[in-house]
């Protein structure tokens, strides 16, 4: 494991100047576990390690008596590799918290191991709602987003009384649940789902599905798929001129790096929900500029989530003077955060971090002033409405306590 010592030991001068802090420095080891070679390497990868380092530096951990070290590893999107590394980290390398972990199956495996080993798991990269519902753990904090929040954001904010939707759904459990969740939100908002077509997973040719979607006359075409499927569907929709013809295209799981790769020309008019965008306000711009300097590209919401999650975790360690996972996570839940990147929010009892989400539309090439100037903000989804309610979520320890 590469060890990047972010900070040295506490300076003697600080000890003299601040006798309150004269106790021994607390050693904190953070492990960033994510995909560094596969499809999620751009949206998490090395950027998440940099985000964690920035959090440690900005927190000024050294001055606060924390001795923070950051490890990183590639789980290759394999849950067994993730589980092996996580165990080894906790057992042998003294890791206190694991950060990021995209890919649901890997994240769920790490959540279990973390609970067993008494660490803390601050997830930013994975989208599975199971992390805070059926398979929740008292040591898990799910920071950035989940698929339900994306469905609520896109489905809710785009729909009013006479909006009709047509779904292009990847034919497997993930696609089905995304479609189901979004349909529920659309119907609650008074809209109507006029049709749905299931495409095989993965698919390369979307033309017949897109023609069906176009022929349905629906106002919004929802893409209930992910990764390469979404990118392919958007490319072909652009060839068909679907958004130019007046229908909206809504991606239900997409990241700014995907949009950047497609370019404004192809992705223009696409609507999507994210938890963070670099160009939201002065604080996000300032942080993103510093991030870009070190990483070479703008941060994704996953990177921002690693930063903010690490920050809140370190606050917890400082306040409790402990690195015991459950203790720190309890503190994180008891104390709301006011974060430069995610604004005001709090961590709910079940581990779900509650903050605003945003609905964006991809700019046209004419509007876009730079390669990363990609989004127009359409709506802000207030924190209280942005996520699934905790009640009836099936999280055992919450229901036992309530």
Partner 1 sequence: MSTMDPATSPAARPEPSVGMPTHQKAIFVVLLILLVALPWFVYPVFAMKVMCFALFASAFNLLLGFGGLLSFGHAAYFGMASYVAAHAAKVWGLTPELAVLAGTAAAALLGLAIGSLAIRRQGIYFAMVTLAFAQMVYFFALQAEFTGGEDGIQSVPRNDLFGLIPLESNMALYFFVLVVTFGGILFIHRIIHSPFGQVLKAIRENEPRAVSLGYRVNRYKLMVFTLSATLAGLAGAVKSQVFQLASLTDVHWTMSGEVVLMTLLGGMGTVFGPMLGAAIIVTMQNYFATLGAWVTVIQGVIFVAGVLLFREGIVGLIARWTKKPL
Query: Could you list the residues that contact partner 1 (CB under 8 A)?
Result: 1-2, 36-37, 41, 45-46, 72-81, 83-85, 87-88, 91-92, 103-105, 108-109, 112, 128, 130, 135, 171-174, 201
Q: Name the minimum Å distance from CB 220 to partner 1.
A: 25
Q: Name the minimum Å distance from CB 261 to partner 1.
A: 17
What span, in angstroms and rounded, lies between the C-alpha atoms of 134 and 244?
42
Q: Name the minimum Å distance from CB 286 to partner 1.
A: 28
Q: Name the minimum Å distance from CB 91 to partner 1.
A: 7
243-281 burial, b at 16+ Cβ within 10 Å, e below that, comes to beeebbbbbbbbbbbbbbebebebbbbbbbbbbbbbebe
| Beta carbon nearer to partner 1, 77 or 247 | 77
| Beta carbon nearer to partner 1, 4 or 315 | 4
CB 257 within 8 A of CB 277: no
What span, in angstroms and rounded, lies between the C-alpha atoms of 135 and 150?
20
Return the CA Rg of the chain: 21
| Beta carbon nearer to partner 1, 200 or 365 | 200
Name the token pair of 205.
């040719």
Q: Count how many Cα atoms sit within 13 Å of the Cα of residue 34 in the half-sphere of its side chain.
A: 30
| Beta carbon nearer to partner 1, 50 or 242 | 50
- For residue 7, the Cα-to-chain-centroid distance in whole angstroms is 27
- Per-residue HEC secondary structure of 33-57 comes to EECCCCCCCCCCHHHHHHHHHHHHH
Work out the angle at residue 86's Cα, subtended by the Cα atoms of residues 81 and 88, and round it to the nearest 5 degrees. Answer: 95
The Cα diameter of the chain in Å comes to 75
Q: Name the minimum Å distance from CB 118 to partner 1.
A: 15
| Beta carbon nearer to partner 1, 218 or 398 | 398
Report the DSSP beta bridge partners of residue 347. Answer: 353
Q: Name the minimum Å distance from CB 141 to partner 1.
A: 18
| Beta carbon nearer to partner 1, 73 or 267 | 73
CB 150 within 8 A of CB 253: yes
Q: Name the minimum Å distance from CB 364 to partner 1.
A: 34
Q: Name the minimum Å distance from CB 112 to partner 1.
A: 5
């Amino acid at each position: 494991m590469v060890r990047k010592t972010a900070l040295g030991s506490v300076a003697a001068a600080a000890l003299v100047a601040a006798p309150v802090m004269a106790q021994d420095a607390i050693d904190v080891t953070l492990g960033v576990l994510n995909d560094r070679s596969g499809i999620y390497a751009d949206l998490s990868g090395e950027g998440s390690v940099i985000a964690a380092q920035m959090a440690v530096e900005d927190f000024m951990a050294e001055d606060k008596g924390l001795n923070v070290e950051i490890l990183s590893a590639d789980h290759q999107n394999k849950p067994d590799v993730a589980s092996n590394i996580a165990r080894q980290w906790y057992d042998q390398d003294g890791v206190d918290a694991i950060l990021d972990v995209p890919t649901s199956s890997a994240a769920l495996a790490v959540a279990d191991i973390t609970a067993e080993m008494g660490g803390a798991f601050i997830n930013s990269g994975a989208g599975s709602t199971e992390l805070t519902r059926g398979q929740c753990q008292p040591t898990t904090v799910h920071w950035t987003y989940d698929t339900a929040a994306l469905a609520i954001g896109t489905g809710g904010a785009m729909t009013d009384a006479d909006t009709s939707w047509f779904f292009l759904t990847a034919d497997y459990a993930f696609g089905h649940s995304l479609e189901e969740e979004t349909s529920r939100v659309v119907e609650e908002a008074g809209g109507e789902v006029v049709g749905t077509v299931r495409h095989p997973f993965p698919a390369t040719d979307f033309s017949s599905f897109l023609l069906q979607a176009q022929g349905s006359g629906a106002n919004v075409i929802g893409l209930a798929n992910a990764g390469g499927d979404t990118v392919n569907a958007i490319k072909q929709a652009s060839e068909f001129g679907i958004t130019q013809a007046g229908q909206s295209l809504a991606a239900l799981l997409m990241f700014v790096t995907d949009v950047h790769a497609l370019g404004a020309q192809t992705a223009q008019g696409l609507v999507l929900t994210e938890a963070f965008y670099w160009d939201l306000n002065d604080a996000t711009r300032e942080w993103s500029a510093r991030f870009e300097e070190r990483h070479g590209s703008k941060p994704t919401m996953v990177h921002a989530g690693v930063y903010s999650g690490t920050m809140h975790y370190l606050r917890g360690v400082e306040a409790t003077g402990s690195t015991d996972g459950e203790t720190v996570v309890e503190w994180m839940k008891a104390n709301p955060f006011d974060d430069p990147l995610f604004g005001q929010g709090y961590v709910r009892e079940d581990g779900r971090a509650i903050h605003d989400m945003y609905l964006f539309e991809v700019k046209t090439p004419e509007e876009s002033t730079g390669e990363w100037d990609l989004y127009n903000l359409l709506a802000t989804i207030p924190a209280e409405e942005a996520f699934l309610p905790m009640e009836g979520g099936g999280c055992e320890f919450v229901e036992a306590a309530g």
